[in-house]
Amino acid sequence: MFLRCLLVPTAPGLDATRRLDAALRLGRRLHAHIGVGFIAPGPEQVLAALAGTAPIASATIAAIREGTRAAAAEGRAALQAWCAREAVPFMPEVERLDATFATWTEWSGEVERVLTLAGRVNDLVIVDRPDPDEPFSGRALDTALFSVGRPALMVGETVPHDLLEHVVIAWNGSLEGTRLVGQSIALLRAASRVTVVQARTGRAEEAKAADLCAYLRWHGIVAQASILTVGEGASVGAAILAAAERQDATLLALGAYTHSRVREFLLGGVTRQVIESARMPVLMAH
C-alpha cells in the first residue's frame, strides 16, 4: 500500500506550520501530496452554541459567515506563504501521483463529522498533540483515532528533519498495533532504521518482538528487536518514551488504547502517557 494522501486538518486561528513541516518531510520521502482541510462550524452550529444567550438576527448570521470567510482567507494565505518558503507547488493544474504538492479545501460543520468523512479518503491524518487551550486539537486527535480508520500522526514539540531516520515500534501484539503495522508498511519500508521495542512487565508475553521483525523482513524491512524491562508498578508509557529517546528515535509508532479509554483515563495507560508526554512525532492507530 502506498501512502499518497496526507491530510492536515486545521481550523480558524490555528497555526498549522508544525503539521505542515511534518507532512512535507514525510511527503517528500513517500512521494505523497498534502491536503490541507479547513474546518469551521457553520452558522447552525454557532447559533446552537449561542441559543438562549442573545436574540438571533439575520445580521448575526451574516456576521458569522463573514467571520468564517475571513478566517478561511487568512488560513489559505498562510498556507500559500508556507508553500512559497518551502518551494511546494500550491494547487497545481496537473496533479502527478508521484509529486509532493499542497491543496486547500474548506469544509463547514462539526469537526467530528467532517474529519471522519475526509479522513477515510486519505492515507494518514496529521494532528497536533492535544492542547487544553485549543479544543480543536483534542477533538481532531480523538476523531482521527476512533472514527477515521486510518493511522494518525500526532506532532509533538519537535519535528525532526527526517521523521523516517529511525522509527521505533512499541509492540505488544495487540489488535491495534497489528492494524498500525499493516497500514504503515510503505512508511516503514521507507525508514532508514526500524527498531521493535517490547516491554516486559513481569506478566507472560506471548507476542515477541523477534516475530514482528521476522514478519517485517518479508516486506523488505530490516528491523532490530529490543527488549525493555519495566519494573513492577513503573510506567510502561514513560519507559517506552525514554527508550525511544535514548535510541534517538525520530518517530514512535504504537497501537492506541489497547485497553478501554475509560480504563486508561481512570487508571492511566500507555497511550495516555505517550499522548501527554511525547515530544517526538507519534504514529498511532486504534
pLDDT tens by residue, 43-95:
777 777 666 555 566 667 788 889 899 999 999 999 999 999 999 999 998 87
Q: In what order do the strands lie in the sheet with 102-108?
A: 102-108, 33-40, 5-10, 124-128, 152-155, 282-285, 251-255, 167-170, 194-200, 223-229
Question: Which cell numbers hold the place of 211?
Answer: 516475530
Rounded Cα–Cα distance for residues 218 and 204 (Å): 27
Q: What type of residue is 241?
A: L
Q: Which residues pair with 124 in a beta bridge?
A: 6
The model's confidence at residue 261, banded by pLDDT at 50, 70 and 90, is: low
pLDDT tens digit sequence for 127-180: 999 999 999 999 999 999 999 999 999 998 889 999 999 999 999 999 999 999
For the chain, where do the domains classified as CATH 3.40.50.620 start and end?
5-155, 167-285
Q: What's residue 186's pLDDT?
A: 94
Q: What is the mean pLDDT of the chain?
A: 90
Q: Which of these ranges, 116-125, 155-164, 258-267, has the smallest mean pLDDT? A: 258-267
Distance, in Å, from the CA atom of 284 to the CA atom of 146, rounded to the nearest integer, reads: 11
CATH code assigned to 167-285: 3.40.50.620
Q: How confident is residue 7, by pLDDT bands cut at 50, 70 and 90?
A: very high
Q: Has residue 284 got a pLDDT over 70?
A: yes
pLDDT attached to residue 120: 98
**Topology of the domain comprising 5-155:** Rossmann fold (3.40.50)
Q: Can you say whether the dihedral through the CA atoms of 215, 188, 113, 49 is positive or negative?
A: positive
| Kind plus residue range of the DSSP H or E element containing 181 | helix 175-183
